[in-house]
Amino acid sequence: MTLIPSSKLASAPSLLSPLPCINKPISQKKIDSVLNHHIPGLTSSERIMASHIVGYPRMGPKRELKFALESFWDKKSSAEELEKVAADLRASIWKQMADAGIKYIPGNTFSYYDQVLDTIALLGAVPPRYNWSGGEIGFDTYFSMARGNASVPAMEMTKWFDTNYHFIVPELGPDVKFSYASHKAVNEYKEAKALGVDTVPVLVGPFTFLSLSKPAKGVEKTFNKLSLLDKILPIYKEVIADLKAAGASWIQFDEPILVMDLESHQLQAFTKAYSELESSFSGLNVLIETYFADVPEEAFKAVTSLSGVSAIGFDLVRGAKTLDLIKGGFPAGKYLFAGVVDGRNIWANDLAASLTTLQALEGIVGKDKLVVSTSSSLLHTAVDLVNEPKLDKEIKSWLAFAAQKVVEVDALAKALSGAKDEAFFSANAAAQASRKSSPRVTNEAVQKAAAALRGSDHRRATNVSARLDAQQKKLNLPILPTTTIGSFPQTLELRRVRREYKAKKISEDGYVKAIKEEISKVVKLQEELDIDVLVHGEPERNDMVEYFGEQLSGFAFTANGWVQSYGSRCVKPPIIYGDVSRPNPMTVFWSSTAQSMTKRPMKGMLTGPVTILNWSFVRNDQPRFETCYQIALAIKDEVEDLEKAGINVIQIDEAALREGLPLRKAEHAFYLDWAVHSFRITNCGVQDTTQIHTHMCYSNFNDIIHSIIDMDADVITIENSRSDEKLLSVFREGVKYGAGIGPGVYDIHSPRIPSTEEIADRVNKMLAVLDTNILWVNPDCGLKTRKYAEVKPALQNMVAAAKQIRTQLASAK
C-alpha cells in the first residue's frame, strides 16, 4: 500500500510549503480527505501513528518573521502587523504538521526572539534596569531585554549548548520577584485549538532554565541558582493549570541540561522539582525531552525514575550510547520518544537503519509505548528543500530539510506500524547508495595531504613575544591600537549590487567598480575616525562562511536554506558534501585593492577552518576532524598568498571554536587538540613580521583559555562587553597572556551607542588585569548588522576613549 507519493522526497510537492493564514478550524472531513490522499479508506484517527516533532523553525520558509521584526524595530510597521505575520506562520506550521500525519505537534516553540527570553517573560524575571512595572510583558520590555535601548544595554547572549543558536541569559539573584507575566504558552495553545489542531505545549524546563542562568551582579560567587526552584515552581504550576483548563492533554518540558556533566546535588534538585510539580500533572501526560548528546547514566536513572512523568525523549543520533541504557532497563508503562531523525543536520535519514533501531526499541518498551521523533528541535536545520529548485539534483537527493524530516518521521512511524511505503524506502536506499559511491565526494590527493598533517603540531618557529617585537618595528602602532573586527554595515544598495550581479543583471566590471567604491568609502571613514589598523569592510561577502565555501571545492549552496542564529539574524550554512580544496585565491584581490587605498595596515580577513566547519552542515560519512584538516590546508594556501601580496596583518576568525566543544568534559581534550591544531596549520608558514589575528565571540571562553593561548595567534579580539566582562575574570585569577588581546569594548548586537566615558571605563578595567603593551581597543564583533548612523558615533567614541587613556598613561610616566 502506498502511503506517500513514490517519487523522491526532494522532488515531491512539499507537505510543509507556506500556506495562507488559516482563520477557521480544520474540519475532520478535510483532514480525512487530505489523509486519504495517501491511504484511501482510512480516517485520521486510524492513520495518525505515534510520531512527534520536538520543535520547528520559526522564521518561515522565506524568512517572513525576520523581515516583519526588522520592519517593526525600524518603526515601519505596527505591532499588529508583526503579530499577524507571526499568527500566519504559526497557523501554517500547525496545519502542515497535522496534514503530514504528526500526532504530537509542538506548540509554544514559536518565538519573537528566543525561547529562553520567552521563559524569562513567563516568570517575570526582568532585571531591574528595564524599569518593568509589572503586568503582562509587552514588546517594549521584551525587546529591550533582547536588544537594549537608548539608556540600558541588552542582556547577555551566548550559545545554546553546542549549536550556532544564541539565547538570552537569565540574570537571577536572591531578591528577584517572580510572577506569571506572560501567557504566551496558553494563548498559543488556544490559538491552535481554535484552528482544529491539538498541540503539545513546550516549556523550557525549570531545571534547565535555572542551570543556564547567571547570578546577578554582586552575588556571583555566593549564590546558588537552584535555590530559586521553590520560587519558580509555583508559576510553572499556574501555567500547567491554565494549559490543563484550556484542554491540553500533553505538556513537553525541555530539559537538555540533563545531557551535561551534573553533580549529585544538581540531579537531586531536578528530581525534587518534578516531584514538587507531580501533583499538578494529574490528568496530563508529561514528556521530558532531552537532546544534543547522550544522557549520563545517573541522569538517565533520575529522569526515568520520576513517577509523575509519562514519557521521556532521547536524542538517539548524537546520543547513540543512550540506547545501551534503554536496553539495560526502561520503566514499564512510560512512553519512549525515540529521536532517530537528525534535528541538527540536513542529510536524509537512513530509513532502513532507523527502522531497525526502532524495531529493537519496540521489543523493549512495547509497540504502544514507542513514539518516533526528531533528535532535537528542527530549529537548527533549514526549512524546506522545495525552495531549492536550482540545487544540484544528485546532491539534493541526499538531503532532508525540516519539512522533509517531518515526512521521514511520519514514514518511519507508519513503517513501524506495518504500513511501510516500500517505494519511499527504496528511493531513500538508492539515494544513500548514490552518496556513498559518488566520485564527486572523494578527492584522494586531498585525503592524502590531510592524513599527512598528523605527524606535526605545526607551530611557528619563533615565540610570540619575539614576533610581536618584529611586527611592531614594521607596523609602528601606538599603544592601545584601535581596530574593528571585519565587516561594516551592509546597506540595501550593497545587497542590491550583489544580488543583481549574482542574477547576471550587471556585468563583472560594473560589480567590481561598485565594490571598489564601497571599499574606498569604508577606508576613508576609518582614516577620518583615525583607526589604526583598518579593514576593507567585506562588501563583497554575503556571509563569513558562505563566501569562502562558494570558492572551495566540496561545498554546495542553497538559495533559501536559512537557519536562525539569534533574534532576526539568520545564516545560510553551506553544505560540505565532499573533500575540500581551494582551486583559486579567494580574498587576495579585494585585500590588495583595499591596501592600495591607504598607508595604514589593512587586515586580510579570513574565516578559520574550525568556524567554517562548525557553521556548515558537515558531511557525516567521515570524522569531523578530517574535514577540518582539509579546510585548514585550503586556508593555509590563502594566508600565504595574502602575505605574498603584501598584506602584513591577517585575521583568521575562529568565532565558533568554543561552540564546537563537546558537551561532556571527557571529550573536550580530543576536540580542542584537533581544533587548535587546525588553526595553527593555517598560519604556520608565515614570517615573524606577519601579524596573525583571530577573533572569537559569544561563548564562555574562560574554561578553554589555555587552549586559546595554545592557538599561538599574535593578537586575539574577543567578545567581552555583552557578557559583563566575564572574560576579564580569568586574568584576575592569574592566567598570564603574553600575546596581543582586544576584549570588546562595546556590544554591536544592540543599536545603543556607548559614550566615550563608558568605553574608557571598560578599557581601564582591562588595564587593571592586562599589560598596556598587549591591549587592543575594538568592538565586540563585526558591524555588518548595524547602521552607519550607529556605527560612526560608536567608533568615534571608541577612538576618543583610546586617545584619552593614551594621554593619561603618557602623563603618568
Candidates 342, 395, 331; CA nearest to 366 is 331
Return the number of other C-beta atoms located less than 10 Å from residue 479's C-beta: 15
The residues near 103 (Cβ < 8 Å, ≥ 6 apart) are 48, 49, 50, 51, 52, 371, 413
Cell output for 636 = 593555509
Candidates 294, 308, 413; CA nearest to 351 is 413
What's the farthest any 2 CA atoms get from each other in the chain?
90
- HEC profile for 104-156? EEEECCCCCCCHHHHHHHHCCCCCHHHCCCCCCCCHHHHHHHHHCCCCCCCCC
Candidates 644, 795, 796, 773; CA nearest to 715 is 773
Q: E-strand spans in 476-571? A: 553-556, 563-566, 569-571
Specify the residue for cell string 592557538.
Answer: 711
| C-alpha triplet 200, 203, 206: angle, nearest 5° | 145
- Cβ-in-10-Å burial (0-12, 13-18, 19+) of 447 comes to middle
- Note the Cα 610 to chain centre separation in Å: 15
CB crowding 655-667: b at 16 or more within 10 Å, else e: bbbbbbbbbeeee
Candidates 303, 301, 310; CA nearest to 251 is 310
> Which stretch of DSSP H or E encloses residue 214?
strand 214-215
- Note the Cα 746 to chain centre separation in Å: 22
Q: How far is CA 256 from CA 116, 290, 455, 776, in A?
A: 13, 4, 38, 38
Give dist(CA 384, CA 517) in Å, integer: 37
Angle formed by the axes of helices 444-451 and 624-644, to 10°? 90
Candidates 744, 641, 646; CA nearest to 695 is 744
The span from the first CA to the last CA of the chain, in angstroms, equals 87
Q: Quick check: 140 and 146 in contact, CB under 8 A? A: no
Return the number of other C-beta atoms located less than 10 Å from residue 580's C-beta: 29
**DSSP summary character for residue 753:** P
CB crowding 403-438: b at 16 or more within 10 Å, else e: bbbbbbbbbbbbbbeebbbeebbebbeebbeebeee
Q: How far is CA 104 from CA 236, 251, 411, 420, in A?
A: 21, 10, 15, 20
- Catalytic residue (one of 380, 536, 695, 749): 749
Amino acid 393 reads K
The residues near 360 (Cβ < 8 Å, ≥ 6 apart) are 327
> Which stretch of DSSP H or E encloses residue 167?
strand 166-168
How would DSSP label each residue in 408-425? HHHHHHHHHTT---HHHH
Cell output for 718 = 574577543
749 catalytic? Reply is yes
Give dist(CA 589, CA 164) in Å, integer: 30
Q: How far is CA 585 from CA 175, 351, 506, 518, in A?
A: 57, 41, 23, 21
Give dist(CA 337, CA 285) in Å, integer: 13
Residues designated catalytic: 749
